[in-house]
Structures are given as C-alpha cells and as structure tokens.
Amino acid sequence: MQLDNDELAEIRRAVRALCEEFPGEYWRKKDRDRAYPAEFVDALTKSGFLAALIPEEFGGSGLKLDAACVIMEEVQAAGCNGAAAHAQMYVMNTLLRYGSDEQKNEYLPKIASGDMRLQAFGVSEPTSGTDTLSLKTRAVREGDEYVINGQKIWTSRAEHSDLMMLLARTTPKDEVAKKTEGLSLFLVNMQEALGNGLTIKPIRTMMNHSTTEVFFDDMRIPASALIGEEGKGFRYILSGMNAERVLIAAECIGDAKWFIEKATAYANEREVFSGPIGKNQGVQFPIARSYAQTCAAELMVRHAAQVYDEGGNAGAEANMAKMLASEASWTAADMCVQTHGGFGFAEEYDVERKFREARLYTVAPISTNLILSYLAEHVLGLPRSY
C-alpha cells in the first residue's frame, strides 16, 4: 500500500511519540550494560511498526519500503537505536518474496504479532569476509534433513531472535558452473537448534549491538527449512540486501538529523567569549555543510526506495543511498562532537554514544570500498578489480 505525504507524516509523528517513552537515560543504561533494548523492540512490535512490510493477510500493515524508511529514520532521529530491531524488516522481505506458502503461513503471522522474532541474518564468516561466494558453512542433505557445519561471525541479535535466515553452501564451489550458484538459504528455528548443534557466543563491540559468533556442529534442520530452490540462495538474498541498504541508509539520515539538531541547539546555547559559539562561522559552517550533505543523501535514499517499491532493480541506487547516507551521518557525528567541545565526550549528552553507533555504517552491512567497486564495474563498465 502506497501512502501519501500526509500519511507518512502521521507515521513520523506516531514513531516520535513512541520514542519519547525511551529517552537518553534508557539508551545510556543499555549501552553501559551492553543489554538488548527488549522493551523498546517490544513497543515497536506491539505498535505494528516492525510489521510494516508484512502484507495485511499475514497480520502486518502491507506498507512499502518508503514507509519502512520513515519509521527507521524517525527512530534514529529521536536518539534511539533501531539496530536492535531493523533486521526483522529486511530479512522478513526475503521470506515474503521467496518462501513457500507453508513457510509464510507458519511464520509471518507470528512475526507480525511479536510471538516470534526474526532478527538474525547469518551471512558473514570469519575467513571469507566480504567475499560471500567463498563462504564455507556447508549444508548437506540427508533424507528429510540438512546437516549444517561451519561458523558465522557478526550474526547480530542471534541471542534475541527465534529465527535465523542462514546462507550456506549446498554444492561445493568447484562443482558449480557459476560461482553464484550452490548457495542455499534456510530459515532456522534457533529455539530448537540451540544446544542441538548450535552455539552462540556474544562479541563485545565499541557500541551496544548484540552481535555474536555462531557455530554449527552437525546441526540438523528439517528439509522444509529451505527457502525456495536449493542452490539459488545467493540470488534470493540480493534483493533483500537492497532493501537492507535502503533501510539502513534511512537510519543514517535519521542519525545525521539528530546530530545536526543537537549541534545547532548547543551552538545557540553555549556562550564562550561573551556570545554563543554558533555566531562564529568556524562553528556554523561545518553544521551548514553537514545539513546540505544530509539533504542530498536523503534525496538519494528516497529515490532508491521508490525504485525498489516500483519493482525495479535498485542495486545501484540502494548502494549509492547507503554510501552517501552513511558518509553524511558520520560527517555529522564528527561535526557534533567538535561543536560540543569537551562535552561531546561526556556520556550524559548522548553525543559520544550516537557517535560510536553511527561509525558502523560505512563498514556494515557493506563497506564503502565494495560499493565503489560495484558502481565502477556494474554501472560505469570499468574492469573488475577482484
């Protein structure tokens, strides 16, 4: 369902109202304890925001990516951290597009109601890194089951999710005609697998992100966990990855807006040398530049969402949106710390927390270099570099 501007503005207001229940102290405490913001995720779920992209027939609101972007942008612009929950939106999309009717009927209503969380996406591995096609986790069919062995890294929210979308190799790389073949996608019920071949180990990171390492040791899952056809998993995740990049780009725009608003307010308030620091152009210009950069990136994010919503191949737009928005948010983060001087480092201002959180997005879910390589090769026709 495509919403008009007034309806999108109404969503913004509703998300803002929800976020007001989760002020800076809430996030500071979670950050200090490296604790999962379960109350916030539950509130987002109960309000229906996390089921925005789930069709109405499965209990969601059947909205388009542009509305999902508005939700995640507002979460960030309000000072909250959507990283605790954003995966549900884009991972669910892969289930929706490529899952069987049985899988959709079984899981989508439970995800929409909040009875089950689908927050974990197991792609990255320690040895293959960005080279996804070289991943080593193997899934071998044995009768009505697949037996999984291998390891994932950076599987965020695995401890707080019931389901994991897992990419594993079903045919060895040297036995497939094209290296994009032979990878398969599975919807793993982690509740059943935990302690039965599945082990999760948290990784402590510079920000509160609930990320983990996941080990599969003869983990047996039913063959019915396979999404779509065996060997086609890489193709299936590509369109989900475009949605992920656009959504995360929208979060970066929200972050940038938070930093700009915070810096502007502080520059107006803080008086040094008998006047507000914001009257100095050396303080004003970085804020103004950051604002212009953010507005430009926002246009690309909206355009990418539109191309995706119209059913086009949004590969180039999604990548550009993610790169430009993550650079805009990181520039804004740095500017905000500089504007606050020493207070930018004090926990109670939230600036240092948001600064740490914003740093992630030029690296994950795909690093800037790989986006540039994609544009160089696939859009500009330059030779492949790797």
Residue ranges binding ligand FAD (CB under 6 A): 121-124, 129-130, 154-156, 205, 209, 211, 360, 363-367, 369-370, 373, 385-386
We find the least distance from the C-beta atom of residue 83 to ligand FAD, in angstroms, to be 8
To ligand FAD, the closest distance from the beta carbon of 124 in angstroms equals 3
Both ends of the chain: CA-CA distance in Å?
A: 41
Which residue's structure tokens are 């019931």?
162
In the complex with ligand FAD, the residue whose CB is nearer, 267 or 360, is: 360
Find the angle CA(280)-CA(262)-CA(269) to the nearest 5 degrees. Answer: 50
Residue 19 CB, nearest approach to ligand FAD (Å): 22
Among 262, 236, 81, smallest CA distance to 165 is for 236
Q: Which residue is nearest to ligand FAD (CB)?
A: 129
Asked if residues 325 and 300 have their Cβ atoms less than 8 Å apart, the reply is yes
Residue 227, phi then psi, degrees to nearest 5: -95, 125
User: How many H helices and E strands in the chain?
Assistant: 12, 10
For residue 120, the minimal CB distance to ligand FAD (Å) is 7
Closest CB 367 distance from ligand FAD, rounded Å: 3
Beta carbon nearer to ligand FAD, 103 or 137: 137
Which residue in 64, 94, 49 sits closest to 305, CA to CA? 64
Task: Note every long-range contact of 215-220, with CB atoms under 8 Å and residues 24 or more positions apart, other chains counting.
Answer: 215/151, 216/137, 216/148, 216/149, 216/150, 216/151, 216/152, 217/149, 218/147, 218/148, 218/149, 219/147, 219/148, 219/149, 219/188, 219/193, 220/142, 220/145, 220/146, 220/147, 220/148, 220/196
Judged by beta carbon, residue 67 or residue 167, the one nearer ligand FAD is 167
Tell the smallest beta-carbon distance from residue 42 to ligand FAD (Å).
20
Are 304 and 321 in contact by the 8 Å Cβ rule? The answer is yes
Our CB check for ligand FAD shows the closer of 240 and 286 to be 240
Decide whether 8 or 364 has the Cβ nearer to ligand FAD: 364
CB nearer to ligand FAD: give 38 or 203: 203
Q: State the nearest-atom distance from the C-beta of 251 to ligand FAD, in Å.
A: 13
